[in-house]
Amino acid sequence: MGRLSSKPLEELTNADIVNAARLLIRYNGVSDGKDIRGDIVLALHKWNKTPNQLHIKAREIWQGGWKPSQLLDEEVGSGADVTSGCGQ
């Protein structure tokens, strides 16, 4: 998760957003996941986003037909597709 938190919001890929949302859900209430959840929450704070906004954006990505092995053209080398994303 350190890699994720070091990225600016505009460089996040669909995979970054979906994985962060997935990990927040997976480690909710699990003591072993406090570090992971903490890193994600700190990154969200850095980007002025909330966990709810993250989950909304992840849901939009999935509903748009994105699959984990799929990189969209706009995901390669540019985060322009997520600049307005993650709940904005």
Residues 6+ apart with CB under 8 A from 68: 15, 18
pLDDT given for residue 70 in this prediction: 63
pLDDT at residue 30 tops 90: no
In angstroms, what CA-CA distances link 34 with 23, 28, 38? 11, 8, 6
Alpha-carbon distance of 77 to 79, in angstroms, equals 7
> Tens digit of pLDDT for each residue in 62-71?
999 988 876 5
What residues does each domain of the chain span? Answer: 2-66
In this prediction the pTM is 0.72
CA–CA–CA angle 46, 72, 60 (5° rounding):
60
